Amino acid sequence: MYQQPYQPVHKPMSDYLKPLLSDLVLAALLFVGLFLVWLGSLIAGVADRSGGIETGLALKSFGVLMATWGLVIGGMLRHDMERWVRVAMIVAGSAIILFVGYWSASIWWGF
């Protein structure tokens, strides 16, 4: 009698990516991201030349990127968390983009 060859059970892609977004990695992304947002805003606020302001805005935008990656992608891939926690993570990441923005401070300085 013919027996079909063994085929392993296919896991969804999120099961392979979940170890990359452990609780420690999510906390580190948020901490470093928010620290860079603070540092970039501080540098851009006290700088008196265009290069210093642009450096501060670049640090700020990289911090926003890290924080939103941690929140939004973590909220989408971490199925072991409560549903409303994941929804809150996605909403918080979207709110950071909306209210802090990547280059929104350049509107106020006029360049």
- What integer pLDDT is reported at residue 104 of this predicted model? 58
Q: Is 11 part of a structural domain of the chain?
A: no
Nearest to 77 by CA among 25, 9, 10: 25
Q: Reply yes or no on whether the pLDDT at 111 is more than 50.
A: no
Q: Reply yes or no on whether the pLDDT at 85 is more than 80.
A: yes
Q: Is 10 part of a structural domain of the chain?
A: no
Determine the structural domain holding residue 92 and report its residue range: 21-109
Residue 93: count of CB within 10 angstroms of its CB: 22
Structural domains of the chain, count: 1
Q: Is 15 part of a structural domain of the chain?
A: no
- pLDDT per residue over 36-62, tens digit each? 999 998 998 898 888 888 888 889 889
Asked if 40 and 71 count as a contact pair (C-beta separation under 8 A), the reply is no
Q: Is 7 part of a structural domain of the chain?
A: no
Q: How far apart are CA 71 and CA 78, in angstroms?
A: 10
Q: Is 6 part of a structural domain of the chain?
A: no
Q: Is 1 part of a structural domain of the chain?
A: no
Name the one residue in this structure whose structure tokens are 């280059």.
Answer: 103
Q: Is 40 part of a structural domain of the chain?
A: yes
Instruction: Categorize the per-residue pLDDT at 21 as very low, low, confident or very high, splitting at 50, 70 and 90.
Output: confident
Q: Is 16 part of a structural domain of the chain?
A: no
